[in-house]
Amino acid sequence: MEKEEKKKLLEEKSIHLWFKGSPVALCSMKLELDMSAGAIFAYGKFLNVQPENIKTMTFDIICYDAQRNVIDRLTNCSYDDMDIPRNGEFGMEMPIRIKNEHTRNLEFVIQSVTTTSGQVWYNFEDTRFNISLVQESIFNVQKDLHKQFIDNCTLNNIDHTKLIFHPVFDEIYWLCACGTFNWSDEDICCCCGVRKHWLIKNVQPELLEMQNTEQKSEAEKIREEAAERERLDRERQKQEFEKRKEVYANQQKKSENKKRNSKALLILFVAILLGGGLYAGITYGIPYLNYNSAVQEYNNGNYDSARQKFEGMKDYLDSEEMIKKCIYGKAESSAASGNKQAAAELFQSILDYSDSEVKYYDTLKSYADDLYNDTDYRRAITVFREIERTDEENYQNSQKKIYVEAEKKFKHEQYKNAMEDFEFIDDYKDSAEKARECLYMLAKYDYESLKYRSALDRFNTLKGYKDVDDILKKIDLLSKVISAADSDGAPAVWNCYDVKCPTCGSQAEYVFEFYENGKYNFSVVCENESEPKTISGRYKIENNTLYDAYYVDGNIKWKKMVEIKSFGDNVKDVEGKNVYIVMGDPINKKNKTKIKIFGNIISDDTVSLG
């Protein structure tokens, strides 16, 4: 049996620390004695908090004894050959051997971080981790108001089960309620997608308290209205019961008379048959009996059964007229029992009968009023519009209710939901204009979030509004680049073939890929290597200039990468390209040769010289 490896934990801390501008946070660390190796090892768990993938990190380890005295400092420690994405953890699987056997505590000091795109961050001032990123439970902070917060999440289609921490907002960074680190210029959490400004407003106790009070008041009002409707319903049912008693008594008298008449008719029918009138009995007697049976069903209020029998008689006597009477009776019965929508549909099917057309409009109007009283304002408006009763008070009140709610949503930056409400009541006050303002805000938000295709679609819809035409002019070339990218994720590809690999000198291809979500990849595809060398980043194109994103203290900044040049308006060269850029090699900085990369932009009137 192999000897079991023995390890002794000397120190372990689960912490969440960061310092201003650092691209990484320290999650935890531990110190462990490996008895089989006779050595002490240090472990650190780090978190990548910036957008770029991390390739290398160098750091020092300060060693302390049991009395917290510094006894050693290990320099030039590193984690190499990594590819750690944003929010990715690393380090625990890579132990660092500690030389001083008296070490009982330690401290990590980051020196530099290199991204896979080649950017290097340095800790010139030797700053230590000093800012706690530990968050309180959102439930413990909000307490009785937490239910209101959950309701707000549900209203905005946000999964509240992910938001378990009370958020923290700083001028440099913010911690989302899902626990994720974001930089101050990022309006959307990079993990759960919650908007920062929405979160700031919706965790304020004052707002939650106000909403909770309003909700309770509205609920109380609804309960009172429901109680009043219930009282009115009971009164109506009582009146209907008295009417039914009276109708039933009258029907009983008629039934007794009909029984006597039926017996006499039956005796006459038998006499006719016995007297040799079999033909006349079959020809006239049976249909007459069926007709009287249908009439009896109608008089008893069995309109569906009576209608079915009359329909089977075709044109016998006034059967066709009686069918309409059955439908009319069924409609009135449905309306009296509260099923006004079904009643209106029945009246609509016999508009040419009696006063059915008037009853149709009156029933739908009453149904719309009921919908308003039940606070179903959208359906109420739809019904009022169907019968062209837009001058009704409840129609105007329904629009007002939706308008007020839409303004609240706009104030809380719920632009999409607000726009849908304003568009629904576009004939009320300035709703149409406010719907455009919502679309404008959504377009700007999409553009700032690098959702270029969505932003362009929305800006194009808003031509002539505010400064939209100037914006479209500024990003015209971006629009053409995006049009060459597929909405399914395939990029617009620019390239050049007549180049040499900066590593081995063999034939290579430089490829610049522009994605519609604002990301780019720049690759060198060498014929001697199986995998291309690639760097990535975020881009924007304004006024024929290509910009590259970089970060300073977590804030996104833009630097000019290169001017985009054209062969001429809507003219392609013989290889089908119509634009190009001239730039230095972004992968191999030592390569001073300028690279000319050809691309293509799409326009309806593009012509080819080939």
Query: Tokens in use for 174?
Result: 């913010």
Q: What is the pLDDT of residues 183-229, one digit of tens each?
A: 988 889 999 999 998 999 899 888 888 888 877 777 677 777 777 87
Selection from 106, 97, 94, 98 nearest residue 30 by Cα: 106
Long-range contact set of residues 169-176: C-beta below 8 Å, sequence gap at least 24: 169/196, 169/200, 172/20, 172/21, 172/553, 172/554, 172/555, 173/18, 173/554, 175/133, 175/135
One domain, residues 241 and 257 = yes
Do 529 and 435 share a structural domain? no
Token pair, residue 345, equals 């549909």
Confidence of residue 284 (pLDDT cuts 50, 70, 90): low
Crossing angle for the helix pair 340-349 and 356-373, to the nearest 10 degrees: 160
**Domain co-membership, 243 together with 352:** yes
- Residue where one domain finishes, among candidates 79, 108, 132: 132
Statement: residue 272 has pLDDT above 80:
no
Task: Please indicate, yes or no, if residue 471 is contained in any of the structural domains.
Answer: no
Q: Phi and psi dihedrals of 188, rounded to 5?
A: -120, 135
Angle in degrees, 0-180, between the axes of helices 393-411 and 377-386, rounded to the nearest 10: 140
**89's tokens:** 């953890």
Does pTM surpass 0.75? no
> 240 and 306 in one domain?
yes
Tens digits of per-residue pLDDT, 225-264?
Answer: 777 877 887 777 777 667 766 766 676 676 666 666 656 6
Residue 538's pLDDT is what?
86
User: Do residues 78 and 13 both lie within one domain?
Assistant: yes
Domain boundary among 84, 113, 132: 132
Residue 571 confidence (pLDDT): 46
Residues 314, 230 within the same domain: yes
In a domain, 453, yes or no: no
Taking all residues of the chain, what is their mean pLDDT, rounded to a whole number? 85
Q: Identify whether residues 362 and 304 lie together within a single domain.
A: yes
Residue pLDDT, tens place only, 317-370: 899 999 999 999 999 999 999 999 999 999 999 999 999 999 999 999 999 999
Q: How confident is the model at residue 606 (pLDDT cuts 50, 70, 90)?
A: very low
- At residue 540, the pLDDT reads 93
Residue 131: per-residue pLDDT: 93
Q: Is the predicted pLDDT of residue 113 greater than 80, yes or no?
A: yes
Domain coverage including residue 410: 390-444
Q: How many domains does the chain have?
A: 5
Burial per residue of 111-124, b for 16 or more beta-carbon CB atoms within 10 angstroms, e otherwise = bebbbbbebebebe
| pLDDT tens digits, one per residue of 468-507 | 999 999 999 898 888 877 766 788 888 887 777 767 778 8
What is the CATH number for 69? 2.60.40.3230
The yes-or-no verdict on residue 278 having pLDDT over 90 is no
Domain edge (last residue) among 108, 132, 156: 132
395 with 326, same domain: the answer is: no
Shared domain check, 500 and 354: no
Average pLDDT over residues 422-444: 96
Residues 13-22 pLDDT 10s: 998 999 998 9
pLDDT for residue 602 is more than 80: no
pLDDT class of 570 with cuts at 50, 70, 90: very low
**Per-residue pLDDT at 608 exceeds 80:** no
More confident residue, 126 or 440: 440
**How many other CB atoms sit within 10 Å of the CB of residue 352?**
7
**517 SS3 class:** coil
The verdict on 421 and 562 lying in the same domain is no
Judge whether residue 107 has pLDDT over 60: yes
